[in-house]
Amino acid sequence: MNKIRLYSLILILCSASLLAEQMPEGYYNSINGLKDGELKGTLKTCIRKHTVIPYGNGSNSTWEVFYYSDQDENGYCMDMYCDDWKKFSSPGNEISGCNIEHSFAKSWWGGAKNDAYKDCYHLNPSNSTANSARSNYPLGVPQKEIKTSGSLRIGKIHHDALNTDFYVFEPKDEYKGDFARAYFYMATCYGKDKNGDYDPTICSQYKGWRLDNKDVGSKFAMQNDNYLEFQPWEQEILIQWHRQDPVSEKEIKRADAVSNFQHNRNPFIDYPYLAEFIWGEKAGQAVYMNQLMASFDADFVPGKSNGWRGGDPDPGPDPGTDPDPDPEEALDTPNGTINVNKTLINGLLYIMINDQIYTVTGQRVQ
C-alpha cells in the first residue's frame, strides 16, 4: 500500500463525516478458482459471520437500519410491496401501517428467531396488508386465481413433478432482481457449507429447509439434496429475474447501508455475475475475479451491467498474502505524527492507528 493511499485513508478515518462501509480489501479472495458447491460454500464462509441486529424498533434495531437503507431523498420509505409509501419520522421508529417483512419466509427454516430471522439483507419494510396477503409463498409468476395486494400479484401455479397447485407471489418488474438476489444471499449465507452440511444454527430442526408441510412454501421452492438449495423451477425464475432486473443504484445504496450495521456483504450485489457460476450459465466452471465486474467499479452501469468483464482467467495472488507489505510507518499529519501498523488476518487488511484498529473501510474494530 503506497503512502498516498494510506494518507488518504488516515484523513477519512480522522474525518467527522460518516461514509458508507465499502467491501473490505480481499473479502472475496478465497473464492478465486473455485466452482459449484465449493464456490458457494466458501462464499458462505465469507459472509456468514456478521453483526446480528436486534429485531424490531428502537436504537440499533431493524427499523433503524431501514431508516438508512430504505429511505428515498424525500424521506419516504421505499416499500417494494405497495406503492402507497409512508414517511419515516426518525431513526428506529417504525412506520404506522408497516411491518418488518421476511422476504425469505421465516417458516422455511422453522421460524426460530435466529441470525436468519434478523438478517436485514432479506428483511424489508412492508405495507402490513400486502405482507399478510403474501403469507409464506415463494417467488413466482401466478397463472390462476390471481389477486393483487399492494403492488404484488398473488396466485397459483402448477407443479408438474408433485402434481399439485400452490401459491406464489410476484413483485413489480423493477424489484424482481432485488428479491432474487436476496434469495441467493439467504441460500448462500444459511444454506449448505462447502462440505455439503446444513447450517446447524439455522436449519437443525428439519436438517435443512422445511419440506414436510404443504402449507409452507419451502416445500415447493426448496430442496435439501444438494448445494443449489432451490427446486429447479424456482432456480429458473430467480436467475431469470436476476438477469432482467440488474443491480440498481437503489440496491447498491441499500446494501452499503446494511453493511454499515451488519459488517458483511451480499456477494450477488457486489459481483452480480457470481450467481451465474452457481445457478446459471457458468455452472460447473471455475470463477476468476479478474473476469468479474463489481457494482462499485467505475465502469459498472447500475440497472444495465450484468457484472461480466471477461478476458483470460487470472489465478491472482495467494489470498493470505499482502502483495505490497509495509507493516510499519509513521506519517506526519496536520495534527501531528500518527503511528500506523498494518496486518493481514484471514485475507483481510487491518490497520492500527495510535492503538485503535480499523478495517480498510474505516470501521473501528471493537
Give the mean pLDDT of 84-107: 97
- N-to-C CA span, the chain: 24
- Domain-ending residue, one of 211, 246, 274: 274
Asked, for residue 314, whether it belongs to a domain, the answer is no
- Indicate if the pLDDT at residue 330 is higher than 80: no
pLDDT tops 80 at residue 297: yes
Q: Number of folded domains in the chain?
A: 2
- Alpha-carbon gap, residue 307 to 304, rounded angstroms: 9
Domain match, 19 and 54 both: no
Spell 307-342 as b/e; 16+ CB within 10 A means b. Answer: bebeeeeeeeeeeeebeeeeeeeeeeeeeeebebeb
Give yes or no: residues 232 and 159 share one domain: yes
Are 200 and 336 in the same domain? no
308 belongs to a structural domain: no
- The residues with which 126 forms a beta bridge, in sequence order, are 99
Assess whether 12 and 53 both reside in one domain: no
* In a domain? residue 33: no
Q: What percent of the chain has pLDDT over 90?
A: 77
Does position 165 have pLDDT exceeding 70, yes or no?
yes
Percent of the chain past pLDDT 70, that is, above it, reads: 80
User: What pLDDT shows up at residue 24?
Assistant: 77
Confidence of residue 71 (pLDDT cuts 50, 70, 90): very high
> Average of pLDDT values for 280-298?
97
Q: Indicate the pTM of the whole model.
A: 0.83
Domain that holds residue 8: 1-25+323-366
Out of 15-29, 40-54, 270-284, which region has the weakest mean confidence (pLDDT)? 15-29
Confidence band for 351, pLDDT divided at 50, 70 and 90: low
Q: What is the mean pLDDT of the chain?
A: 87
Helices (H) and strands (E) in the chain, counts: 10, 9
User: pLDDT grade, residue 332 (50/70/90)?
Assistant: low
- Integer-rounded Cα Rg, in Å, for the chain is 21
Give CA separation, 306 vs 92, 197, 241, 327, 361, in Å: 34, 31, 12, 37, 25
Residue 324 has pLDDT above 60, yes or no: no
Q: How confident is the model at residue 16 (pLDDT cuts 50, 70, 90)?
A: very low
Q: Give the range among 4-18, 195-209, 294-308 with minimum mean pLDDT.
A: 4-18
Together in a domain, 119 and 266: yes
Is 123 within the bounds of a domain?
A: yes
Q: Is the domain of 207 the same as that of 353? A: no
Say which range, 64-68, 180-184, 350-354, has the weakest mean pLDDT.
350-354
- One domain for residues 221 and 93: yes
- Which helix (H) or strand (E) segment holds residue 331: the answer is strand 328-333
Answer whether residue 267 is part of any domain.
yes
Average pLDDT (72-99) is: 97
Domain boundary among 209, 244, 274: 274
Domain boundary among 274, 296, 313: 274
Per-residue pLDDT at 29 exceeds 60: yes
CA distance linking residue 42 with residue 30, whole number of Å: 7
Beta bridge partners of 331: 338
Looking at the structure, do residues 213 and 177 belong to the same domain, yes or no?
yes
Mean pLDDT of 201-229: 96
Within this chain, do residues 125 and 184 fall inside the same structural domain, yes or no? yes
Identity of the amino acid at 145: E
